[in-house]
């Protein structure tokens, strides 16, 4: 079974690649951005026609945290729509048997009931700070649904919750909340800083999943016949951002005072996924925050030293 993995160098894509290799998949197709621009429809369609994969996994996307989403909305909606349109329609044109489209839990309404079921999609307004990205991902979900309905294809959308792990983005302004906290905690440790500054009030609740669990879910569902077109991928558990801060302080043995910047936006107050559908099919997350953090922090330390 030949598999084209789009976005193999990103956080999620690199984890999927590691997992595929570990499970001895031999026909894995990857290509760098330099050699294939996923925004170029003609180039994408030609590539799929030439390579003829049986499965396409769409882990390629433009992603970022609250600040970057809020200031670069046009880039987020254009690039994500273009990438997924080219890959989904290109897969259809070239008779790809199965597509796995990776979305995000931010597709759900801002004031969604908790925990969030798949059926809550499009039942309310989105969180304003990442609306362009969310709209693009919703379009991808609905595109897969429409092709399944009209053409009897087998395109599946997996919706992961907040993700962390090796190869994450730790940029000060455009990373997600947990990698941003890891970087701040590390700098408190090595620079012996006494103040740990945290974006927002620390009160919002967030669910986290280790990236290898997402990779495991992709391969699990790739090999299943699935009737549903959208499945949540998460742990089903959440904590306050304050709790994650305290977790890092304990792990890194910091002696600091926490300073919350209440002028910064909190985003959605609570966002935890209902993962009962995934469990019904036989999949659940396996890696604890403790274990996932230890693996992530080793990778972070290497990269941090290299960039100094």
User: Alpha-carbon distance 30 to 57, whole Å?
Assistant: 11
Closest CA to 95 of 137, 136, 141, 48: 48
The half-sphere exposure of 153 on its side-chain side, counting CA atoms within 13 A, is: 28
Copy the structure tokens of residue 20. Answer: 């595929």
Strand, helix or coil at 177?
Answer: helix
DSSP secondary structure letter of residue 299: H
pLDDT at position 49 is 98
Residues belonging to the active site: 133
pLDDT at position 69 is 73
Closest CA to 94 of 39, 155, 49: 49
User: Alpha-carbon distance 294 to 284, whole Å?
Assistant: 21
pLDDT at position 66 is 67
Copy the structure tokens of residue 195. Answer: 């103040």
- With a CB cutoff of 8 Å and minimum separation 6, the contacts of 241 are 177, 181, 198, 200, 202, 203, 204, 205, 206
pLDDT at position 71 is 81
Is pLDDT above 80 for 173?
no
Strand, helix or coil at 183?
Answer: helix
The half-sphere exposure of 280 on its side-chain side, counting CA atoms within 13 A, is: 9
Integer angstrom CA distances of residue 248 from 177, 208, 271, 282: 13, 14, 21, 32
Closest CA to 98 of 61, 150, 148: 148
Strand, helix or coil at 235?
Answer: coil
pLDDT per residue over 16-75, tens digit each? 999 999 999 999 999 999 999 999 999 999 999 999 999 999 999 998 766 677 788 999
Is pLDDT above 80 for 308?
no
Give 95: exposed, middle or buried? Use CB within 10 Å, 0-12, 13-18, 19+.
exposed
pLDDT at position 298 is 97
- The average pLDDT across 279-292 equals 98
Copy the structure tokens of residue 79. Answer: 């690039």
Structural domains of the chain in order of their starting residue, each with its CATH number: 3-300 (3.40.50.720)
Handedness of CA 39, 40, 45, 46 (dihedral sign): negative
pLDDT per residue over 250-270, tens digit each? 999 999 999 999 988 787 788
User: Alpha-carbon distance 66 to 206, whole Å?
Assistant: 14
The chain-wide mean pLDDT, for the chain, equals 95
Q: Are 182 and 248 in contact (CB under 8 A)?
A: yes
Residue spans of alpha helices (H) in the chain? 11-22, 41-51, 66-71, 73-93, 131-151, 177-190, 211-222, 241-251, 276-281, 289-307
pLDDT per residue over 190-224, tens digit each? 999 999 999 899 999 999 999 999 999 999 999 99
Strand, helix or coil at 129?
Answer: helix
Residue 134 pLDDT grade (very low, low, confident, very high; cuts 50, 70, 90):
very high
Is pLDDT above 70 for 229?
yes
């Amino acid at each position: 079974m030949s598999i084209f993995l789009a976005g193999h160098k990103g956080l999620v894509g690199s984890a999927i690649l590691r997992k595929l290799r570990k499970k001895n998949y031999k026909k894995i197709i990857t290509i760098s951005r330099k050699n294939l621009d996923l925004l170029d429809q003609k180039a994408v369609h030609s590539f799929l026609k030439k390579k003829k994969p049986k499965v396409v996994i769409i882990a390629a996307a433009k992603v970022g945290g609250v600040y970057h989403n809020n200031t670069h909305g046009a880039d987020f909606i254009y690039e994500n729509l273009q990438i997924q349109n080219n890959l989904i329609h290109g897969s259809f044109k070239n008779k790809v048997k199965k597509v796995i489209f990776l979305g995000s839990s931010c597709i759900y309404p801002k004031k969604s009931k908790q925990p969030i079921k798949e059926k809550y999609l499009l039942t309310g307004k989105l969180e304003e700070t990442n609306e362009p990205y969310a709209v693009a991902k919703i379009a991808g979900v609905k595109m897969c649904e429409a092709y399944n309905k009209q053409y009897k294809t087998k395109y599946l959308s997996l919706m992961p919750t907040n993700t962390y792990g090796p190869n994450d983005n730790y940029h000060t302004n455009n990373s997600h909340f947990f990698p941003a906290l890891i970087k701040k905690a590390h700098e408190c440790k090595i620079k012996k800083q006494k103040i740990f500054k945290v974006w927002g009030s620390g009160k919002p609740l967030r669910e986290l999943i280790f990236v290898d669990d997402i990779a495991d879910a992709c391969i699990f569902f790739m090999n299943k016949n699935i009737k549903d077109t959208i499945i949540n991928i998460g742990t089903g558990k959440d904590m306050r951002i304050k709790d994650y801060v305290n977790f890092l302080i304990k792990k890194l043995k910091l002696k600091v005072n926490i300073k919350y910047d209440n002028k910064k936006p909190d985003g959605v107050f609570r966002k935890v996924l209902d993962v009962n559908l995934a469990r019904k099919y036989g999949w659940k997350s396996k890696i604890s925050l403790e274990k996932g953090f230890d693996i992530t922090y080793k990778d972070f330390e290497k990269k941090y030293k290299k960039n100094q």
